[in-house]
A and B are shown apart, each in its own frame.
Chain A
């Protein structure tokens, strides 16, 4: 999440500066739970929605902090037994790797007692979902004639002539290609796990290869759409929402979008497990999640929070019931295992 966050809003507000001072003073008191997030605008929203209300409600101390997703730091902490972090926000590939390596404590879902309130993907062995973001088909509604409804339309060069933007890499690209080729969204990863499926995805990409402009940073798709460089692009939904707030008439096709989650984890060896559970439970409530999502366009993992948002905000959430139709979760296990092989194949394909 860190790239998406920092590029979305690199500005560190006075709030964060205040937090840093609070951190310094709180670090002196021995039994404070430390909560680490990716900071940036998401961290600001977390402060408003989770940290401050949690301290106010429970009277417990909480030391917030941020990091850039340096996995090695967590590993070093656990291996040396010098664990100073308790609750840490991680992206899904790190969740999968860290859980396998035993860096995160397994979540006792019975003890947490909120399993039935969350979307299924938020419930994992070592992590509790914190928010949902999505990779979607986006276009400039002022420029494009007609409405693309699926990835098949994205591939349709006759109805929608012009360049298309896709992320430079195999992840997301191969899934979209298969959906464009008629694979139903629920079968995508089963097909992609076979050699024929991979070949099929690349063959489908061949059809529009000349018309793709590949993006590297999350800020590029909305910029290209606004500038008219591309007529459609895959994009992170948060980027499009930010452009919409600036008055751009960018539109999102939620059908066949790929959503992914960030997770709360409890570091192995943490001494503040009770507080950690209480914090995670607190941060998963509908009301706190609604405050978070009203500050940043990432979807709540607790669907009940959608109801507390304004109509306009709710429609921008990846977890809005309408937006979940036809959408699938990114299969992180698949990408952790096959990612290298497929990225290499993508690079080989791209130069041919």
Chain B
């Protein structure tokens, strides 16, 4: 037999370990369920250490909190106290300066909608939180970025720190902050500043690194001091990248401010969504959600134009005119303006939505239930607990038997053998492994198999270092007793990622082939990426109620976008010369797609998959609000009980899963790029 390739060797080892575990399952039950006796009370340890640490930091934190109270009150007073006409006029004037008529119009229409919804006060509360947290995040993030650029020694650690900060789920931040700062809006403020700083830092660093070396050298040769070089040449040259950072920072802050509403204590728009959702008042929830979307779109588009390289200049006199009109109008109507919450033009519509929804679900409940149940019984459940447990007479109409298992394995073996004979040894073995996983279910996988399988994957993806790292990290989850929860999270996000990869890849392919499809898909993708995570929950909840399936759908809706974008991008960005060479060789469109575009796009598509995975993990925690059972739920529970140990541990476990998945896919992408010589 010929020497095995690295991939097939790794697959073979995993297969053997898996088979051994299956065979020994009955005699050695600890192979499947990790013995409780060996579990370390890591959660409590973390809790103790963190409590001690937090107590230490508490006085500083509390005085900082007291300090932040003033700018917050001030902006709150400014935004909340100004007549709405003036606020709209100011935003419209800014819109005009940034993007002319269309942007100004967008501001008027958007804020008009907010006003008409009756959520003006809540919106201004949210906005003032953002207005205070964003400058904080910009200063901190910009500072970190410049610092890492100035001291290359710290660049790697800083980047690692930023990676971790972005993989730690948003809710996990909240628990320690809650302990530090006490209940109240300051927690949301700090959390959103912490969450929004990394994208700024990243983009500042990236921008500064990307300044052409000759531009930097020219600044040196001009005789500038380091500070002159930095502030007069490098930072302005990196401006468009830095402004991309500002845009991302704004969006992250808004998203986090809304999530932080979970803590409550501040009468903002996120709280409104949460409240109405809990009361199952979906009409108002949808309306409040739309208000959030309006803000997200306004902030995103306005700050997005800043980052465009050569944007048009617009006449400032128009802006002054708008502003002047606003001032005059507010002065004239100072006492005659009705209270903003009196504007409730959509009450009728909201009631109609509620009624319509009820009518729709009562009329179609059979059909909706069928969709949900089919997906659960024939898709998610077998994936979660395996065919051997999921196939029951009650759902599938028959009982899973030992013979069926044998038959399944035999079919798998035949398919694997066929693949192996055609030279695809690795895929042959993989087929057999996948069949085994389907039979057992992800949450029932024996832990030695998961460890060995992860190590094998890590080894193939990037080498021994990653294998050791992944196993080490997984062992901490295993030993801290969070294993079951972690596997549940892995299962749900895995299922969602798989669905995203299939559907997103397909849509991406379609968009690559048909410009029309892309024209339709693109604004939808833009929209989905602008909407804060939280809002995704509303529609799925309206139709499918609380449960795993709703969470699954919400995750897909959010995580599918990068897959679509990157697939299309990868497939369309093949160098023109390669396409021409293929055409000259007589290849058909599909042959070009399969043989040239596909392989060339592989690294890009893998990066899309990577993003999708990270998005799925981020959403998983938010989805805990509407019923998932994994780590997300733990984090959420910890928040409710202010249990720092549990919150941090579960958050860390989540980050570990995301980190391992991220490194592996990156490893594969890197390997593909190397093969292609990119």
Partners in one complex: no
Chain B residues within 8 Å of A, Cβ to Cβ: none
Chain A residues within 8 Å of B, Cβ to Cβ: none
